[in-house]
Amino acid sequence: MAKDGLSAREAALIAEARAALARKAAQGASPTAPQPISPPQSQPSAPPLAAAGPQTEPFRAAKPDPAVIAARIAAMMEAEREQTLRRKQKMKQTGTAIVVIAFVPVILWAAAKLLAQLMR
């Protein structure tokens, strides 16, 4: 598990969303050269905007497109549904195997008793 109790899939989705936001912000500022944001480093470095001077307007995150959010949620729900179906199928197979393993000795014992009575 990743930091803050996130699963690997959730951490990947967050990283993907951050990268998409960074690409969108870079395209708005300079459409010719979009640059992805690298993951946070262990040692903090000076922010790149410090050399550029003071900002005239504070940074505001763009509102995400509802269609994109709906598509991501639908994809996540589909992945969870598939995982649940695989887990249920595995549990069903395991349950069947346990039942068979439990009844084989009983069937063998009953067969042996029946053969013993027929042989008398």
Mind listing the pLDDT tens digit for each residue in 21-67?
Answer: 888 888 775 545 555 566 555 555 555 555 555 555 666 777 888 88
Structure tokens at 42: 């262990």
Please tell me the predicted confidence (pLDDT) of residue 80. Answer: 96
pTM for the structure as a whole: 0.37
- Annotated domain spans of the chain: 1-30
pLDDT at 1: 44
* % pLDDT > 90, the chain: 39
